Structure 1
Amino acid sequence: MKLMRVGPAGAERPVLLDRNGHHHDLRPVTADIDGGFLADGLPRARAALAAGALPRSSVAGQRIGPPVARPGAVLCVGQNYAAHAAESGAAPPDTPILFYKAPNTVVGPYDDILLPHRSTRTDWEVELGVVIGRRARYLRSPDVALAHVAGYVLSNDVSERDFQLAESGGQWSKGKSCETFNPLGPWLVTPDEIADPQRLGLRSWVNGEARQDSRTADMIFTVAFLVWHLSQYTVLEPGDLINTGTPEGVALSGRFPYLAPGDVVTLEIDGLGQQRSTCRPADPDTR
């Protein structure tokens, strides 16, 4: 199944996209696609679809929101592709690097990216996002980790590099937590449609010019390892989002300019759809 949320920001409704490309209203099963639903609602949604209990729903002309309501946590893995670590000037890590983004960074896949005040080095990062569906704490091995995944999603870990590196004080979250810095979606795709999360192509473009083109097979730490590893340090709850790292081809490499107002960032991952965001300056706070 592909799950999505449609409507104005803060008032999205849940929608199911079936294998035939038909949209169905998911509200007979749940009011939203949140942690509570992801913990036990996927079998109910599947059964309701099979029983014809989900009416058809049009999404034409409507805003597509992030496919998961605001996560409790957005956990991010840094430098999880060797080539990206190299272009960042670092050796590949021997253990996963963890940082957090504020959950309110999550926006829809076609929403604008707001460039922060003082920003000169805002960067794109196409990533495979993993959404948790079962509480995970102290998992015994990576072999059981994928059973705790509700689905996979296309994610953009937007970063302001000066805030992340020059003004960080040693932590990365300042450069990761600006508003709109995590476009997500268009869909949350359940694991039955993704045979192997380590065999996906992921790509990015800026203004139609290619930037990133890689495969999740090149991850240093696999999805299963990451879910297991993170469960040793924190409790992963249903609805939490894990951004699993980005491949080479970002502006930090020095090969491309950073984002500017009017730039259009396009991302895609095999089976997870495509997103397209336009950059514009953040409005000043006049309150």
Structure 2
Amino acid sequence: MSTTETAILIVVVLVGVGAFFGIVLALADRKFYMQQNPLIAEVEDVLPKGQCGACGFAGCAKYAEAVVENPDVAPNLCVPGKAAVAAKVAALTGKDAGSVEERKAHVLCRGGKAAREAARYEGVADCAAAKLVSGGPKACKYGCLGFGSCVRACPFDALSMGADGLPVVDVLACTGCGKCQATCPQGVMQILPASALAAVSCRSHAKGPAARKACPNACLGCGLCMRNCPHGAIKIDGCLAVVDPAVCKAAGCTEKTCLAKCPTGAIREAVE
């Protein structure tokens, strides 16, 4: 058999094998095909398509499938969609929408370029990568590393990097989906109820002098805010002040004396 005849035979065999398996797969697909409930597509269509996973499912399609087919899955799990989407999903699925509290991202750091640098980092411009090198280049090992990983992770373009080297939250665009919080290796991004009045923009648990040396804007754990809060909404936990937004809301606080008393400005408006 000549080389040409051999080549032709190989091609014929390959085409035949490919056609055979193509027919087998087509028959299998037809046999096992399951028609999707059209309601799933309707529910998915009203979702914001951020694919953020805040609902607890792997994307909008999976949540739509679950909320339609599982009676125990609530229609108000789409955080970016807020109450409006919850109402639409509830109407489509015949479920009770329940209550939905709007949420916003808050930056737990005011260090940025003001924080002292302990080393020079010249690697990949990514927060997780920078943290692998001795915990990052900043003297404060709790604060924002400033490489913008949270900004790139936000599916709603609600974050940008400010001139001070810190993320800036666009409260109008922020949906509180939590993607930035999940991405930040420092735990600097916090998701708070939109009704929250004040929050500590710091994560440092270092003692006062050490914290101040690393960053002039750090919480010193001095307790002034706690002693001046008339509602008991602030506690000191490991040299760091912590505000309970639920206590603030329940008390209907309007005076915000904690903001005025903080010597470093570590306590800020929760939604600025």
TM-score by length of 2: 0.26
Q: Which has the higher contact order (CA 8 A, sep 6+)?
A: 1
Comparing both structures, which one devotes a greater share of its residues to strand? 1
Q: Considering fraction of residues, name the structure with more helix.
A: 2
